[in-house]
Amino acid sequence: MLRLLRRSSHTGPSPAYIKGLSDWSIRKKLLVFLIPPVIAVLGVTGLVLNIFSNRYIDLALGRSSLTLTLAQAHEIETLLEGCREDIVALAHRPMTRERLRNFMESSAIARGEIYAEAAYVGEGTENQYAFLKDGNRVEEVPPEVALQAKNSPFVVSRKAVGLGRGQVTLSDLIEVYYPPTGFGAQPRHRDLSLLRLTTPVLESDGRLAGYLVLSVDARQLRNVLSLYNSPRSPLLGYNRTAENRLSLFLDERGWILFQSENIEEPLHQLSVETAKTGFSGDHGKPGYDDAFRPGPRHETFWRMVSALQQGHSGMERGEPDFGPSKLASSEDFIGYAPVRFRSSGNGEREIIGGIIYIDRSLLPRAAEFGQFNILFVTTVGAILTMAGCILVLARLITKPILRLAEEVRSMRKEGELHEIDLPDSDLDTATLKRAINNLVAALLSKEMEIKARDERLRSVRAREKVQLVAPTSRQGLQAEALEDLVGESRAMDMLLTRIQKIAATDADVLIIGETGTGKELTADAIHRLSRRKAMPFISINCGALDENLLMDALFGHVKGAFSEAKSDRKGAFLAADGGTLLLDEIGNASPRVQQALLRALSVRRISPLGSDDEQPFDARVIAATNVNLKDLVASGEFREDLFYRLQVLAVTTPALRERQDDIPVLAGYFLKLAGRRMGKGELALSRGALDKLLQHVWPGNVRELKNCIIRAAALAERELILAEEIHFEDEEPGSAVSHHGSSPVPALDGEAPVLDSPLSSRQRKALRSLLDRPTFTRQDYQDAGGSDVPQRTAQHDLQDLVTRGIVRKEGRGPATRYRLAGQRNE
């Protein structure tokens, strides 16, 4: 029988009884030959079952934690909304002292201890009064005590000024301290942690009468978190294990304000002690000393804060050192949800903070161990029972499946999907082979669809408008002097700091920097910040003049010094008297000029050409160079004594490649400047254009960037500048450089492909054959789909592919051709 089975795998004619075996299922063969299922299936099944069971248990617990987080956030929002409704209703009528006292007493009965303070701030001290809730009593605060209190309720916040009827502003969490004086026979101080709601009180004619302040005791918000973490939780659906659970309330800037506590201690002071476990960061924020904000290294925390600021809720698996101490080694379920507040009944809800809920459940680990034990015992027993039979017949019975697996592995090694073409040996492997072939066909179809979609997304992203960063406005007297030195990077901050320190002195300066890095702007800023700012600023380019002209430009001449000297000339040193003289490209000065400069800087006197008299000058000398003067000194091209004379104070202007972060700021600055000068309005860069700028090496530094932006703005035909409209000085005209990977940017039109239903097998087969062709005709599609595809069917298939966006139609009539979406025209 074994010989017959082996022979059935060979090609050529086979006996009828051997051919009949190919119609049997594997199960039928195993029953006939007493062979159980393949032993490996048991182990793999157990492992997969264990993995997926644990995964879904984790998913269920994660969703439960998220539900609890959202419930806490909703409960706090509901509480604050009720407070908003209370203060709006209370402010609807004119305010009196008795009416405010009655509200505090009645609200304590109706809503519990939620309000700790209430105040009315009207015109004049006689219309200003405040009440505190002290246990079961409502006590009026003497005005002089209220005024002395830390964060007095009589000080109306700036956010409340200008509010209309029914509008309410909510303060940050603040600490309020009332001194003990003025509270009767048994005085004691009051320490409160409050959230203040403020709304205007208007007269019947609409005039402002005053402001009503209603303060929520923050412990009541804390108690909401404590309730949901206790056995009395409204969402308690099962008995909880004893793991640590903790809820944190934080503001929109990431400050942790308080944490959940024991629900049996509702009057316990606010705390963040447990929340700080494993954290490092800042302690205390303005107005609330007990707040804590983790440092930037806690990425999980700040990722959640960023999501909360955008109004998103979700789940995270926490850091090993995040939150309270652990009972076992496992990952945390950390839910987060924003808390919103509505300033008016029909207004938009604004995010005021968020809830972070930490749940360290041991249920996944317990379930995993239990499942593992059961599966292990079951698998070992089955293996021992079936091992003997499997060792004898497994090789022969599983050979068709192994061959099929080998074909799949070969496809993976080759990196190319194709249909499997193997002779059928039994019903099950034939069914499996067809399923694999159908899957391969579907994957090929999806691969083409995904490729077209990815190309379209890449193209759309490259053409979307990017919001460029505007330069930070500088304040004070230095703003105008430094306005042309644009940049937010650390290198620019260091340069500006250096400029300001140098400007405070009167020593000579050497500016070192590559071409285009702003050496002359730096010199001008030093002059404008110095005590000489009201005097002349003279600039001489030592590399632009020959030796004689440079000597004449620097030192001047007297009438008759040479044949062309028809009158006296001061020269730059005397022209800059009292101000600043910039010697640009000092490294190009000849030895004679260097000698003359050395003597002038040493004695601070000059002799004009043709004169024997020396004239003193009072000018600060700033030299600039784009070459390494030390190298010139070493080669003998520059005087060493002049180098040290010039380098009293040195400043280096950074190259643009050292301040890549400034490219978006500079690009926005130059783009706005170009648009204003050319009368083109507000111009903008696409993301592709900005990416292209960021990836350039900028040998010409800031000057090259400026020229590039101005060139693009001048040639731009619309407000948005695309990547292909950005041309660099070292780029050949007409060249198109891709800065988005090796794939070309697609030229897709219309909407994204419509893929509501799968492609037919005929469409998939034809498209696989036409994948490498740039274009094809209807006849090509018919040939690729099979010789029996009618013309009408082919036309219908192509029209369907065009509608889905997978294929584009080009031309009309006999010249009609089709192109796969995402392929460029040749």
The predicted-structure confidence for 726-778, as pLDDT tens digits, reads as follows: 888 766 444 444 343 333 333 333 333 444 456 777 888 888 788 778 888 88
Q: Report pLDDT for 400.
A: 79
Residue written as tokens 């990431």? 254
Report phi then psi at 386, rounded to 5.
Answer: -100, -5
Reference 825, options 805, 804, 812, 811; nearest CA is: 811
Q: Report pLDDT for 321.
A: 53
Write down how long the chain is. Answer: 826
Report which listed range, 1-10, 51-60, 72-81, 680-689, is most confident.
72-81
Average pLDDT over residues 301-307: 92
* pLDDT tens digits, 602-650: 999 998 888 888 899 999 999 999 999 999 999 999 999 999 999 889 9
Distance set, CA 134 to CA 79, 141, 288 (Å): 21, 11, 22
Average pLDDT over residues 689-706: 88
Q: Report pLDDT for 153.
A: 92
Residue 36 pLDDT exceeds 90: no
Name the pLDDT band for 366 (thresholds 50, 70, 90). low
Asked if residue 463 lies in contact with residue 720, where contact means CB atoms within 8 angstroms, the answer is yes
Reference 364, options 65, 58, 52; nearest CA is: 58
* pLDDT tens digits, 717-731: 888 888 888 888 766
Residue 278 amino acid letter: G
Structure tokens at 266: 């509702």
Residue 160 pLDDT exceeds 50: yes
Report phi then psi at 770, rounded to 5.
Answer: -100, 5
Residue 480 pLDDT exceeds 70: no
Residue 56 pLDDT exceeds 60: yes
Asked which of 263-272, 300-309, 465-474 is least confident by mean pLDDT, the reply is 465-474
Average pLDDT over residues 126-141: 87
Q: Report pLDDT for 454.
A: 74
Q: Which residue has the higher pLDDT, 194 or 805?
A: 194
DSSP string for 691-756: HHHHH---TTHHHHHHHHHHHHHHH-SSSEEPGGG---TTSPTT-----S-SSPPP---SSPP--S
The reply to whether the predicted model has a pTM over 0.85 is no
Average pLDDT over residues 658-677: 87
**Which domains are delineated in the chain?**
91-220 (3.30.450.20), 490-653 (3.40.50.300)
Name the pLDDT band for 441 (thresholds 50, 70, 90). confident
Distance of alpha carbon 86 from alpha carbon 78, whole angstroms: 12
Spell out the residues 6+ positions from residue 26 whose beta carbon is closer than 8 angstroms to its own: 397, 401, 426, 428, 429
Name the pLDDT band for 16 (thresholds 50, 70, 90). low
* pLDDT tens digits, 58-116: 787 778 889 999 999 999 999 999 999 999 999 998 899 999 999 998 888 887 789 99
Average pLDDT over residues 224-242: 77
Average pLDDT over residues 693-709: 88
Asked if residue 655 lies in contact with residue 475, where contact means CB atoms within 8 angstroms, the answer is no
Q: Which residue has the higher pLDDT, 478 or 200?
A: 200
Asked if residue 304 lies in contact with residue 280, where contact means CB atoms within 8 angstroms, the answer is no
Q: Report pLDDT for 749.
A: 39
Average pLDDT over residues 560-565: 76
Average pLDDT over residues 412-419: 78
Asked if residue 550 lies in contact with residue 540, where contact means CB atoms within 8 angstroms, the answer is yes
Q: Report pLDDT for 641.
A: 92
Average pLDDT over residues 437-443: 85
Distance of alpha carbon 610 from alpha carbon 630, whole angstroms: 34
Structure tokens at 386: 């079936």
Q: Which residue has the higher pLDDT, 822 or 155?
A: 155
Cα first-last separation, the chain: 61
Q: Report pLDDT for 330.
A: 58
Asked which of 4-8, 44-48, 140-144, 594-598 is least confident by mean pLDDT, the reply is 4-8
Q: Report pLDDT for 738.
A: 39
Q: Which residue has the higher pLDDT, 361 or 540?
A: 540
Name the pLDDT band for 234 (thresholds 50, 70, 90). confident
Name the pLDDT band for 402 (thresholds 50, 70, 90). confident
Name the pLDDT band for 184 (thresholds 50, 70, 90). low
Q: Report pLDDT for 736.
A: 42
Mean pLDDT, the chain, rounded, equals 81
Name the pLDDT band for 30 (thresholds 50, 70, 90). low
Q: Report pLDDT for 447.
A: 79
Q: Please tell me whether residue 299 adopts helix, strand or coil conformation.
A: helix
Q: Report pLDDT for 825.
A: 55
Residue 357 pLDDT exceeds 80: yes
Q: Report pLDDT for 293.
A: 92
Average pLDDT over residues 194-199: 94
